[in-house]
Each structure stands twice: as structure tokens, then as C-alpha cells.
Structure 1
Amino acid sequence: MKKVFITGIGSGLGRAFVNIFLENGYSVYALSRHLPEDFKDRVKFEKADLLSLENIYRSADNLLAGVESIDLVILNAGLLTPLKDIHDTPIYEMNRMMDINVWANKIIIDYFIDKKIKIDQIVAISSGASVNGNRGWHGYSISKAALNMLVKLYSREMENTHLTALAPGLILTPMLEEFVLRADEEKFPSVKRIRQSPKMSPEEAADRIFRLIPKLKEFESGSYVDIRKI
């Protein structure tokens, strides 16, 4: 049975990922703050708040002790806070986004390397915000740009693993609805474009990504890939 490791499965895209992989016969390992009721006894789960960097390594070890190989790792967990100008965004708020969007992933990848767990493919969920620099996206854009580089750097060290930083397109998640679609479109022009653009449900996005995962290997390991351009 193939194995997949996923972070952030409580809602949105992460929850949809679990469903699609279970439907396709995968054994699912998950680190997340929440385990939805319908996943109980169906996934191997360890509760973890990825803001608590000092606990992530131990949580990963509790979950994966004895596991020698994993077919696919999806680093999905991410944090966005309300849109605002970067001048108005305090460092502590941006640090929280860096912790979850970048450093938590470093700790997890380091764990795999330290424990010599064989990983065939790693997909880190990035964002178009990592490259477009739209007003209002402050620490989220910075952290996702850093995630892209983190993936590229690890690709130079993990010669037997294929890594991708994947922008999944516009997905109607609770995070998008709360922090983006309610924002001021006059002040932040990207909001109007996002409101007017077609958006996938988490289930549609998870299904599309699942089908495209093998195709990601056609790109150089360490690449940033926007799903809308595949």
C-alpha cells in the first residue's frame, strides 16, 4: 500500500487531500491541529500545532516511528492573516507566517533526512502570491517566496527525492473567504480580480493535484510550478 504524509488536514485543501488519497487506497499519515471526526480510525494521526516549532520533530517521530519509506509528502499547512499593507503588518505577525509556512516544513524535512526515511516525492503547497507581489499580501508573500527557495535548496541535497513548490490555483477555502474575499478591493486591487476569477472547491483542487502529481516529475526537482500553467 502506498503511503502519503500530509500536514494541515483540519479543513480546506488538506481535508480534501485526505479524502482523495483514502479513496485511492493510500495509507495516510497526518500532522495537524485537528482530526475531523470522519477520519478517525482511518488515518494515522498525531496532533501538532506547527506554530510550536520546538514540538514538531517529536510529533513527527511519534507518528512515523518505524516507517522506512513514504511515497509522497504534501506540506500543505499554511497561515494567512488579514490583508494589510506591509507597513502596517507587525514583525510578530509575519514571524508566525514564516514559522508555519517555512520553518515547520524545514523541521519536517530534516526529520525525514535524519531518520533516513526514503521519500519519493515532496510537494510543498506554495502560492502565486510568492511571485506576484500584490499589495496587501505582506508576510504571506514573503513566506511563500522563502518556501520556494527552501524547496530548491533541499532539492540540491536530496538527490533521490523529487521536490516541487506547487501553486495550486484559486481555491475557495475558509482562509480565502475570511481574509481575502472580505478585504477592501479598492485598496487591494488583487481582491477584485480574485472575486471575479473562477475558483475551485477544495475537493476539485485536491482531485486535480492528485492527477497531476506524476506530471510534476517532468519539471526539474526544486522547481516552483503554478498548476494553472500545466
Structure 2
Amino acid sequence: MQVFITGVSSGIGWGLSKYYLSEGHQVYGLSRRVPKDLLQDKNFNHVICDLTNFKSILESISKLLLQVSKIDLAILNAGILGPIAHMKQQSLSDLTDVMKINVWANKPIIDALLETVPNTIKVVAISSGAAINGNKGWGGYSISKAALNMLIKLYASENEKTAFYSFAPGLIDTPMQDYLCGDELNVVEFPSAQKLKEARYTSNMPTAENAGEILAKGINELDKLKTGSFADIRKMQIFLNEKK
């Protein structure tokens, strides 16, 4: 299988890359930083790309996938959290920065991917339960993931040959959790942070490496859904079976 993943230098993108490589698949990664450990695998291919520079995305993807005739799975994982604060305290600049990476960067990525490799079978955008929940303080992140879901839905309606999905991976211990579970975030003011703190370092919040296999299974299960759908792994049977 040929797998394209953005944001492979850490977190979920790194964990999924590591899993797919362990299964013998070819992985094509895009990120700002070089994942030196992944480069040790002969099946890993990487190009550095700053996703805030939209004009460079087509060039980077063309370079990475020039000799590729088919992408079985593309995972749009790169994203940022932004500040946790009340909406009135979040500046338009902060909100714009989050939207730029979490939403708008994915448009030139998808466009470049379909132009470079028209035979792209499946595109999965890493979304979040925050797109639905609207918990206090999650402003820019929630807005961006909700917009990402609609972006994917629109691409699904306009591209019959490629399946598109939005996928919430559940609680994963990534570098993002350092801030969310840190002492500087007031759990009284933002109660959802308390749940994250309680889950961290338990089986309820696996590391990105340990989560790779179950996330990959969840991504496989998306094939049963209508293209354009949003799915949360925590509501999938495979996840519920793991918890038994």
C-alpha cells in the first residue's frame, strides 16, 4: 500500500507512519521537521514543507510523489491547537493562524495531491470531537475542525473517484497534551482540561506509537461509510471491543 501523510515528525502522523512502515507499506511524508528515526526505514520517503507557505505545497508534493502512480491512502494530519481561552479573549490573528494550518493548508494539499496522483483512492482528514462538542475555551481549534469537516464533505461531493472522510482519533498523548495537561491551564475555568489530565498516562490516552494500530483499523473501517462522512473512533465497534 502507498500511504501519504502530513505532519509526520511527531504525534499522530509519526505514530501512523511508524505503524504503516512496520507493516511493510510505502510511506510518503510531509512535515516542517525531518523525522530522522523514520528515515532509517527504506520504505519511508520525506520532503520538508512549511504548510504556512501555500505556494510551496504543490512543488513539495510534486517532488515527493513524482514517481508515484497511485496513493491508496492520504492522511491529512498536520495541525495546531492554538490558545485555550474564552472567545472574547482570542484575537482574530490567533484564530487566523489556527485556521491557516488546520483548514486552508489542506486545500492546496488536496488539490496538489489529486493533480500529481489522480489515482488517489482515499483521503482521510484528522479531525476531532472538538468539531462537534464546542467545549468552553476550544475556540479556534473547534472552529477549524468543524470547517475541516465541511471542506472534506465538499471535496467528497465533487470527486467521485476518491473517497473522503473526516476522522476523530480520540485521546492520544501527543506534544499537544503538554499544554492541555500542564499547570498553566485553569481546569476550573476550562473543565474539559481536567478530563484530559485524568486520562493522561493511562490506557484511555495511549501514546501516538501505541495508538498507531487501532487508528489504522479505524481508518480502514471508514470504507463502510458514505464518502464525506465524519466518524469518531470512540464510537466505532473496533474501539469499543478494545475497551472490553
Normalising by structure 1, what TM-score?
Answer: 0.95
Structure 1 stretches lacking a partner, 5+ long: none
Would the aligned equivalents of 1:80 and 1:179 in 2 still touch at CA under 8 Å?
A: no
Partner of 2:230 in structure 1?
224
Q: How do residues 27-66 of structure 1 correspond to structure 2 at under 5 angstroms?
A: 27-42=26-41, 43-66=44-67
Question: Aligned partners of 2:116, 2:205: CA distance in 1, in Å?
Answer: 39
* 2:191 paired with 1:189: yes
Give CA-to-partner distance per residue, 1:168-207, whole Å, 9 cap, x none.
Answer: 0011111122245441111111111222242121123221
Range that drifts further, 125-134 or 192-201 = 192-201
Would the aligned equivalents of 2:180 and 2:196 in 1 still touch at CA under 8 Å?
A: no
Structure 2 stretches lacking a partner, 5+ long: 237-244
Cα RMSD for the two superposed structures: 1.4
Which AA in structure 2 matches 1:62? K
Would the aligned equivalents of 2:71 and 2:117 in 1 still touch at CA under 8 Å?
A: no
Which AA in structure 2 matches 1:150? L
> Could you tell me how far 1:133 is from its partner in structure 2?
0.5
Which AA in structure 2 matches 1:178? Y
Would the aligned equivalents of 1:168 and 1:205 in 2 still touch at CA under 8 Å?
A: no
Match of 2:211 among 205, 211, 219: 205
Which AA in structure 2 matches 1:135? K
Q: How do residues 29-108 of structure 1 correspond to structure 2 at under 5 angstroms?
A: 29-42=28-41, 43-108=44-109
Question: Aligned partners of 2:182, 2:60: CA distance in 1, in Å?
Answer: 34
Question: Aligned partners of 2:117, 2:8: CA distance in 1, in Å?
Answer: 25
Would the aligned equivalents of 1:181 and 1:194 in 2 still touch at CA under 8 Å?
A: no
> Could you tell me how far 1:40 is from its partner in structure 2?
2.1
Question: Aligned partners of 1:180, 1:85: CA distance in 2, in Å?
Answer: 18
Percent of counterpart pairs with the same letter? 42
Question: Aligned partners of 1:110, 1:128: CA distance in 2, in Å?
Answer: 26
Question: Aligned partners of 1:53, 1:96: CA distance in 2, in Å?
Answer: 13
Normalising by structure 2, what TM-score?
Answer: 0.89
Question: Aligned partners of 2:103, 2:71: CA distance in 1, in Å?
Answer: 21
Secondary structure of 1:84's counterpart equals: coil
Question: Aligned partners of 2:181, 2:55: CA distance in 1, in Å?
Answer: 30
Partner of 2:239 in structure 1?
none
Question: Aligned partners of 1:195, 1:152: CA distance in 2, in Å?
Answer: 33
Which AA in structure 2 matches 1:228? R
> Could you tell me how far 1:41 is from its partner in structure 2?
5.0
Partner of 1:21 in structure 2?
20
Would the aligned equivalents of 1:53 and 1:99 in 2 still touch at CA under 8 Å?
A: no
Question: Aligned partners of 1:225, 1:185: CA distance in 2, in Å?
Answer: 28
